[in-house]
Structure 1
Amino acid sequence: MELKKENLDEEFISDNKLSPDEKFKGKWYVVSCHSGREDNVKSDLEEIIKKSNKSHLIFDIRVIKEKVRSEKTKKIINKNLYPGYIFINMIMDDEAWFIVRNTTSVTGFIGSSGKGTKSFPLTEAEVKKMLRKSDNVEIKELSKKDRVLHKANFEIGDFVTIKSGPFSDQEGKVVAKDDMKGQAIVNIELFGRLTPTHIQYSDCKKDN
């Protein structure tokens, strides 16, 4: 199914909203899992926490999503913004680490060197950027007559800086372009590795 994002910025589902003064007892960590199993991992973890009374160790689990319109069905659906990753607010001790790490479909914590070492939590700036809700409110449907070829002031192989959205101020290399959709695929560093990410032309500024 081909998905089309109609906004310049992402509109996140309300569950993802973080108020500026929201406080948590733990730190936010990024956990990798099998792509497409994010919601299952979240549900399984919530069930494990409930049954084992571990809510004093793991406080919040989130799958970050954006609203997109399906090119095929024209329906607005929620699509994972970070496929293969979930965000967990927790106290990083041996017990909590073991619960998360041994949940079905979880492959590890991001920021850990492996061999049982604990990972580093997200910084406050990373939390605000990755878990925030944008101010965008509208997703509109474009008719075929409104669809035009988009022009970009950069080429494949150029480095660009992302101007807005959850990846604002990050730099990456353009590896593909789609003039029909006005989107570029930019390799940006995400969770410690280069990740191909779809970015609107209008959100890309060519580096000098």
Structure 2
Amino acid sequence: MYRWYVVNTFSGHEAKVKQKLEHRLVSLGQRRAVRQIVVPTETVTEVKDNQQVTSEKRTMPGYVLVQMDLNDDSWQLVKGTPGVTGFVGAGDEPIPLTQEEIDRLLKRAQQPTKAQRRAQFSVGESVKVVAGPLSDFSGEIAEVSPDAGKLKVLVSIFGRETPVEVGFDQVKKI
């Protein structure tokens, strides 16, 4: 019976472990023992240097999901793959994921259309507005709204601090 298991890897080596495991499956003739190998990732849109950059981020660093028919041969095949440190489980016994857990993990990994926005801004930082009607004004960040991709910046206009809402792409750090 094919079930999903979580395999520990060296952090940052998840893609290499997936590639090596797929290669070992073919070279050792065990392709039917493993149905699917997944490195859980999500698509994240970040603002860097006033540019939107979309990238893949690992949601579970150091782990790879493997759908396999667990027996002694398949266990040794996965465990003997370079970069694999073991299975997640109690002692030597790998514990399969429940259907709810795997649905949640794979649903998150398969939603590239709904990208999350992140920015390297924090409250109290000084920024300069580079676009819009208030370009060339400087101010201090009062509020960060990553979901909306907006900042509330306190800009000095006529000697008074005025809160202005701007997008991540309309400011740069000073």
TM > 0.5 between the two?
yes
Question: Which residue of the other structure, out of 109, 120, 137, is the alignment partner of 2:87?
Answer: 109
Aligned length: 125
TM-score norm. by structure 2 comes to: 0.62
The aligned counterpart of 2:36 is 60
Flag the structure with higher strand content: 2
Unaligned runs of 5+ in 1: 1-24, 152-179, 181-208
The aligned counterpart of 1:157 is none
The aligned counterpart of 1:127 is 102
The 5-angstrom pairing of residues 102-181 of structure 1 reads 102-113=80-91, 117-133=92-108, 137-139=113-115, 149-150=143-144
User: Which letter does structure 2 place at the counterpart of 1:33?
Assistant: T
Identity of aligned residues (%): 28
Does 1:75 find its partner at 2:53? yes
Runs of 4+ in 1 over 6 A off after TM superposition: 140-145
How far has the Cα of 1:138 moved from its partner?
4.1
Q: Distance in 1 between matches of 2:25 and 2:107?
A: 25
Question: Which residue of the other structure, out of 63, 86, 92, is the alignment partner of 2:70?
Answer: 92
TM-score norm. by structure 1 comes to: 0.52
In structure 2, the CA distance between the partners of 1:38 and 1:141, relative to structure 1 (3 Å rule), is: closer
Question: Cα RMSD between the aligned structures?
Answer: 3.0
User: Which letter does structure 2 place at the counterpart of 1:75?
Assistant: V
Q: Distance in 1 between matches of 2:6 and 2:117?
A: 33
In structure 2, the CA distance between the partners of 1:141 and 1:66, relative to structure 1 (3 Å rule), is: closer
Does 1:35 find its partner at 2:29? no
- SS class of match (2:31): coil
Unaligned runs of 5+ in 2: 120-126, 130-140, 146-150, 152-174
